[in-house]
Homo-oligomer: A and B are copies of this chain.
């Protein structure tokens, strides 16, 4: 990886040097560096040739070298990732940074406290301007690391004592929006196959499960529909369990006409359960999912109405919070709505 390195005492190349050698103005060099379309191909080629010849690196200009800012933000994740959510978080953070000429340093640290701590230290060593710590499912965390002197924000997780700022999905809004959609279409008996509240042994109840149930109940209450506990099931996502729970709901003496599924995978099993009883979606039973995993929601037939988790928005929000960080303000605990994504299953 041989590369010409400026030596101590060696004059640093400036935009002026390039402009002079390429026989163009300084502004033209800037426009070439920024890929502005107003430069002719011929001029662009000449400027690029000079840049190449001088081995000039635009982003390490003298001005930037003098500032304290690294223009980097660190992003630490907790988990080996099996859903597209993580990507949306990273993408939201990365796009918000790119708009202001900064970049994202990504580290996955697993659930290991030592690995997390050493990732944080690596990022501090890079003088990142801030750190986003992102969990792959919405949960409370114990303070997973020690960090000094730079702002940290939690994304898709939070600390019970609210001592760090956080951004999480508003699960209640999601449960409410799903249930309201069914109520507005005239359904009054609405089954709910929720995520098992205690899916993760030794952890507090799933924020997703308790929040969505709360939203479901709130919507029923607004419409004056009594809450019926027999319509609530919990799924551990075992093979065929979601289809079985669906059949159990549909075999009740007073069965539901719609089923709200705690996630899109649950809805996959629900579709199979409905189909196995010779019923049609949505004519006989309306089904609604959660997570808006497009791979599933668009792949099912009919395409699945679902609720969007705001991963992209959380990534953006976290970065924007860091970039305008005020050490004197109390740590914000921010929630973002989970909006409905209508398709054809309701």
Contacts and interface: CB of A to CB of B under 8 A. Distances in A.
A57 B124 contact: yes
A34 B125 CA distance: 13
A108 B91 contact: yes
Nearest to A97: B107
Contacts of A248: none
A55 B148 CA distance: 8
Contacts of A294: 82
B327 A124 contact: no
B105 A104 contact: yes
Given A84-B87, A108-B91, A302-B239, A59 B117 contact: no
Interface string A110-153: 00001001110111111101100000000000000010111100
Contacts of A1: 129-130, 150-151, 325, 327
A150 B104 CA distance: 20
26 contacts: A1-B150, A1-B325, A3-B68, A3-B149, A37-B114, A52-B149, A57-B124, A57-B127, A59-B122, A60-B126, A87-B87, A91-B108, A94-B107, A98-B107, A101-B122, A103-B105, A103-B106, A104-B106, A239-B301, A240-B301, A240-B302, A243-B301, A269-B299, A269-B301, A293-B295, A296-B299
A95 interface: yes
